[in-house]
Amino acid sequence: MSTYDHDSIRAVQWTGTHLRLLDQRLLPHRCVHVDLDSALEAAAAIRDMVVRGAPAIGVAAAYAAVLAGRAAWRQAGPDWRRAMEPALQALADSRPTAVNLFWALERMRAVMQALPAEADPEPALLAAAQEIHEADVAGNRRMGDLGAALISPGQDVLTHCNAGSLATAGYGTALGVIRSAFAQGRIGHVYADETRPWLQGSRLTAWELVQDDIPVTLLCEGAAAGLMRQGRVGWVVVGADRIAANGDTANKVGTYGLAVLARHHGVRFMVVAPTSTIDADAANGAAIPIEQRGEEEVLELAGQRVAAEGAGAWNPAFDVTPAELIDAIVTEKGVVERPGEGGVTALLD
């Protein structure tokens, strides 16, 4: 069996003329694709979580820059760079924590700067976006194989949020490791946290794994400690939205708590993310901006209030796991074990 057999989902696509996104807000009950014609529409889709997951956001932003370049050329001709700026700024403002968004926009800006003013920017921007897209899938497959090699056969794993095909250009980061390890017979079962309040584990990760015939059992976050105590988990495998130079890692809120539980119970903890997620300018986790989302996401469920009237909510989208609680950070350029001892910036050389 190929390690890539369990890989059927693509959340971000370029149709030849438009950016097409799988609307993840509607999963698992409806599988609806949205075609976007403008960068401003793409920025709104990123902000509203039609597309989510740091690598997928980066790929979507790259294609959105193509749409911005097309519109700017039609509207302003040789003054297209200036005309693109409002759209690029809207993309940059859409989600503050996922560093891949800014990395992708910087890549696209570098392409823009290399073009003459009298040249239509769309072909060059499209080629760059497609390169980012293809490199992400290839990098995910390499990370999958590298991470799977760390897992001893016969162990089950636990994951949090969604770091799969839906969160990337394809195959996934954390779920890429799980896909590869399952195909190799190293794991037989996956436990997935529901991941409140957006239920990415329940709605997205479980859906992905069911689609690709990988056994999955859901649990609410509060059940993870008991599961670990029973010795039923060998590894926690998660993705990342930003990794600081010292290895501190921002991921979906609840990840830090899992890392504390894992250390207490002797369960190993793996972060899987491309090197584009590493922010060398952030010395440690304290420098990572944490997105605060609306309290209605906690107080309501499917638009229906479930909390007592008058109660408020604290709703950070992410938390930071200290590097000393992480056993391995897996990237497409290699694996850093015990990142707390030396950080991760050597991967950027």
Sign of CA dihedral 231, 235, 239, 243: positive
Calculate the CA dihedral of residues 27, 196, 100, 121 and round it to 10 degrees: 40
336, 344 Cβ separation under 8 angstroms: yes
Sequence-ordered list of residues with C-beta below 8 angstroms from that of 137, at least 6 positions apart, any chain = 168, 169, 170, 171
Output the six-digit token pair for 171: 């195959």
Which residues, 6 or more positions from 312, have their beta carbon under 8 angstroms from its beta carbon?
A: 295, 299
H or E element at residue 319: strand 318-321
d(CA 120, CA 71): 10
Return the SS3 of 246.
coil
- Quickly tell me which residue has 């991941």 as its tokens: 195
Dist CA 16 CA 7 (whole Å): 23
Cβ-based neighbours of 274, under 8 Å, separated by 6 or more = 55, 100, 136, 139, 140, 143, 173, 331, 332
What are the residues facing 14 on neighbouring strands? 19
Q: Report the run of H or E that residue 19 belongs to, with start and end.
A: strand 19-22
- Cα distance between residue 257 and residue 68, in whole Å: 40
Q: How far apart are CA 277 and CA 279, in angstroms?
A: 6
301 beta partners: 304
Clarify whether 241 is annotated catalytic.
Answer: yes
d(CA 6, CA 59): 22
- The answer to whether 212 and 7 are in contact (CB under 8 A) is yes
Which residue in 7, 136, 212, 241 is the catalytic one? 241
Identity of the amino acid at 247: G
Q: What residues are labeled active site?
A: 241
